Each structure stands twice: as C-alpha cells, then as structure tokens.
Amino acid sequence: KGMSQIPWMVVVLSFLVTGQFIVDKDLPDVWHLAFGSCNKHFLPSPIWDGILQFHPDAWLWLGDAVYNDERVFLHIFQATDLATMKEKFNAQREIPGYAKLRNQTKIFGIWDDHDYGINDGNVGYEDKIESQKLFLDFLDEPSDSIRRKREGIYASYTFGQSNRQVKLILLDMRYFSTEQDDKPIQEKWANFPKSRKRLFQIISDSKKSGVILLSGDVHYAQMFKYTCDMRYPLYEVTSSGMTHSLVDVVGDMMRVFSLEFSWESHYEVEHVFEGHNFGSLIVDWNRQTLQLNIHDENSTIVRHLEIPIAALQVEGDKILKEGCHEGPQPFWMNWPTIYFQYALNLGWLLLATTTVLTPFLLMRALYRMIFGCGAPSMKVMKKKT
C-alpha cells in the first residue's frame, strides 16, 4: 500500500489494551507531540516556558510528574499519606507555565514509581487504588472515562483517521508489576530481559508499521535503535530530567563514567544529552518524515533524528539481524557497573555522615576554645600547692 497509508503507533514505556479513546478525527499537516518525565514541583521549572514555545498539539507525561514519596536515606524511600499526595499534585497543576499549557493543549499521561506512590513500586503498593484516582484527577480525566472504571491506568488514544493517524498506547508498568529489580540505583531494560524480549516479540509479531517507543525515568535523554530480530529499525526516545538531571546528581566530571558503566546499553545508542530536557515527536505528512527531538529547557533542539516513513515499514516476512548479541555479559565482566553502584552508595554514605558529624565537631571545637580542654586533674593541682 502507499506510504501515506502507513499508520503510526507510538508505544510509551514508563512505566494489551482494552478500550480506546478517539481524540481528534483530523490531524494537521504537521503534528507535534511533546513529552517528558522526572519533574519535582518544588524545584525551579523554567522548562515550561520552553515547552510553550514549542506549541505542541499534545503534552504527554512519561512518569514521575511529581515525587509523592520521600527519601529516608540513600536509596531508601517511604510513601507519604494520600492528603500529601493530593497537595503535591495540586501544587504542580498551579505552576504558572504548566497551568498555561493545560489551557492551550491536551494533556495525557502515564505514571512511573514516584507519582505512583513509592520508589520502585509494584503490585504490592497498598494505596494504589486511591493513588489511581489522584493521578487521574491530576490529568483532568473525565468522570466517565474507562480509566476510572478499571484497575490500572493503561490506555490507548487514536489521533486522526485513515491515512493520517497516530495511535498512542500507554503501558502501566507499576500497578500489575510482580517483577523485582535486585540491582540498586537504576532500573533499565537490561535488568528485565524477559519482559523486554516479550515486548519486542509482540511488536514484531503484530507486523505493524511505524512503531516508536517513548520512555523516561533515568534523568537524562537518549535515542536508541534496535535492529536485532525486528522487522524494521525500532527507535526509542528517552526524555527524562525536567527539573533535575544526571549532571545535577553526579556532576559533569562523573557523567560519562556513570553513563558508560551504570546505565550501559547493549544496543546501538545515539544522541545522549544529560541536561534538563523534554522530547518531541513531529509527524510531517507532506514530507513523509518523522522527527525525534530532544530539547533543552529553553526549547532549543540539542539532539535530532529525522526518519523517513518508508524506513519504518514492514516488508513481508523480512527480519533484521543487525546488532544481535549473545545476551548480557557474565557477572564477572560487569565489575565496573557493580563498582560504580557501590562507590556511589559509599559516596552518599560519606556525605550523610559528614553532614551529621560536622555540626557536632564544630560545637566541640568551639566549646574547647571558650572553656579550654577541661579542668586540671587533682594530681596537677596538688603538685602546684
């Protein structure tokens, strides 16, 4: 069939579908979607001005729209009460830039762990039913929406029709998840090989053209290309770190080391950006192209990839074999990753210890300066007499 008749399917990973929503029957010649993740409402957020300058036709939350849990120590978090969660969602809604965006464009979203309620949260989170209501309220989800009548917040939205159509599939990676990630600090596909393989197999078996993956969570932006056992190159765009990013955490000197050894990927990787960012997907129906972009907080495009629609088309039973590997490296070859994880944990521990001990040591030194090292012993006093 003609190239203009290829439908688009955008699968969002942040977090298969029964029931769907028809959003717009007609799409413009050039359709703009903006997306992002990892946003703390109490931090400065000039990025909303940049997003408004982009003039998106829709905005998509990829997870961690707010941080409902609280850090106790290092990588240990505790959930907050529902009243506090509601306050945080409301505070984000009232941020001027985001409030203006809500009035100008359609808002969609899926959660990740922190806006779900607890770091690395899964099916065992006790307040997940109440949390679902709060999150859907945050999105202004209609009261009669199917998302309010079933467990989990997965959904499917269709924009356009016929030869101009985008299908947005939101996957809930938290509400039903029973998998445990036994590797600290970061979650990544390499830690869930069975789930990753199953998803890729579903995409391949569906024989659907034009699938693009959008993801968040990791506090930096990146573009991936998967080719092994796929029917055409499968691109993934990660946009993460709207108010805080990798550089804020590990510093500019450590960013390359951390990317290489702690968030390593076995797939072809292009265009990494570690600053505050949001992503965009632009479908140009006239030029028959798809643009994938990473923007900094001023809306400047800092990473860009343009793909012809023809390059994302299923061709019979053709299966790509480029970029295939034998699987994850053995444990003993992953020592740089393990070393970095424990070194980072040790660094946080030393920082916390120093923060606690410094005031005590200063007070002790001040006391000695004022009162001396203490009263002389009785033996010394007797010798003096």
Query: pLDDT tens across 31-84, in order?
Result: 999 999 999 999 999 999 999 999 999 999 999 999 999 988 777 899 999 999
Q: pLDDT per residue over 308-366, tens digit each?
A: 999 999 999 999 988 776 554 444 444 455 455 555 556 656 766 777 677 777 887 78
Residue type, 199: L
Q: Which residue has the tokens 């765009």?
A: 237
Type and span of the H or E element at 256: helix 255-261
The pLDDT score that the predictor gives to residue 191 is 73
The pLDDT score that the predictor gives to residue 335 is 47
The whole-chain average pLDDT of the chain stands at 82
The pLDDT score that the predictor gives to residue 255 is 57
The pLDDT score that the predictor gives to residue 189 is 73
The pLDDT score that the predictor gives to residue 143 is 94
pTM: 0.82
The answer to whether residues 12 and 166 touch, using CB atoms and an 8 Å cutoff, is no
Q: Which is it for strands 8-13 and 211-215: parallel, antiparallel or unpaired?
A: parallel
8-state DSSP, 246:
H
The set of residues, in sequence order, having a beta carbon less than 8 Å from that of 44 and lying 6+ positions away, is: 243
Low-confidence ranges of the chain (pLDDT < 70): 1-20, 179-187, 250-270, 325-349, 351-352, 356, 372-385
E strands along the chain, which residues?
Answer: 8-13, 21-24, 30-36, 58-61, 70-73, 76-78, 106-109, 155-161, 164-171, 211-215, 221-226, 234-238, 268-273, 277-284, 289-296, 301-308
Phi and psi torsions of 192, nearest 5°: -130, 60
Report the C-alpha dihedral over residues 106, 100, 114, 343, rounded to 10 degrees. 120
The answer to whether residues 63 and 15 touch, using CB atoms and an 8 Å cutoff, is yes
The pLDDT score that the predictor gives to residue 373 is 58
Query: Which token pair is 273?
Result: 């950006």
